[in-house]
Structure formats: structure tokens, C-alpha cells
């Protein structure tokens, strides 16, 4: 799961709550350590306890050497095509690709990686 969906859940957006319920019924939701970083970066005073409890409810996938190598190759291949994406998005994509799992996000333009299955959260029909 990408950070944008997690943030929408923390902001109590109804579609995100319903989306989480649906995805947890289908299997395990997981986040990258990058999601922890991005959420902690934007956390406001007073949000720490709820945010940490929320993140602790996920399986967190580390940025290990195979993931780093995969992310580097993804960045290199896209750069050769004149496409630039963030290192964080490449790591999140590499994590999903390493698991063979879809990536749940609303920021589909951030993930132009070949072979990555991207599921847009808003495509659920929930607003």
C-alpha cells in the first residue's frame, strides 16, 4: 500500500476505511519502511499515538539489499527512457514487485514501472 492511501485513512476519509476493510478481507495489507518514513515526515503534533498504532497494525517490509538492487535497476531503466521518478516510489514499487503483489495507490502516475500491478484506490467506486 502506498502512503497516500494510508494518509487518507488517517484523515478519516470514508473511501479509505471501506477500502481497508475490503483489502484486509482479501489478504494481508503491508507497507514499506518508506511509508513509515513519509508518514512520520508529515505527522503533526498530537497525531503520534494514533499514527504509530495504525502503522504498527501492518506488516512492514524492510528495504533490504535485493529491494535496493531492484529499485536501482528500475530507476536506471526509466532514466534511460527519459522518465524520472523518486527514489522512494522506486523502493515502494520494488517492494511490491519483489512480493509479486499489487500496489494500492491513488498516485498511479508515480508508478510507471513495467510489470507492476497498480490498483487505484478510487477505482473502488467509493467516494
pLDDT of the residue at 77 = 97
Over residues 67-79, the pLDDT tens digits come to 999 999 999 999 9
Paired sense of beta strands 103-105 and 59-61, if any: unpaired
pLDDT at residue number 88: 96
Which of 119, 127, 71, 59 lies closest to 98, judged by CA? Answer: 71
pLDDT of residue 91: 97
What is residue 95's predicted lDDT score, i.e. its pLDDT? Answer: 96
| 3-124: CATH number | 3.40.50.1010
Q: What angle do CA 115, 119, 122 make, to 5 degrees?
A: 155
Q: Where are the domains of the chain?
A: 3-124
Q: How far apart are CA 101 and CA 94, in angstroms?
A: 10
Residues of the chain under the 70 pLDDT cut: 122-127
Amino acid at each position: 500500500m502506498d502512503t497516500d492511501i494510508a494518509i487518507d485513512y488517517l484523515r478519516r476519509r470514508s473511501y479509505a476505511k471501506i477500502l481497508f476493510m475490503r483489502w484486509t478481507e482479501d489478504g494481508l495489507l503491508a507497507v514499506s519502511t518508506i511509508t513509515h518514513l513519509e508518514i512520520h515526515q508529515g505527522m503533526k503534533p498530537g497525531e503520534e499515538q494514533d499514527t504509530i498504532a495504525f502503522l504498527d497494525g501492518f506488516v512492514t517490509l524492510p528495504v533490504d539489499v535485493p529491494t535496493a538492487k531492484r529499485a536501482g535497476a528500475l530507476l536506471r531503466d526509466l532514466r534511460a527512457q527519459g522518465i524520472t521518478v523518486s527514489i522512494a516510489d522506486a523502493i515502494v514499487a520494488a517492494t511490491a514487485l519483489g512480493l509479486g503483489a499489487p500496489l494500492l495507490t491513488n498516485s498511479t502516475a508515480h508508478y510507471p514501472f513495467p510489470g507492476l500491478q497498480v490498483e487505484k484506490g478510487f477505482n473502488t467506486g467509493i467516494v
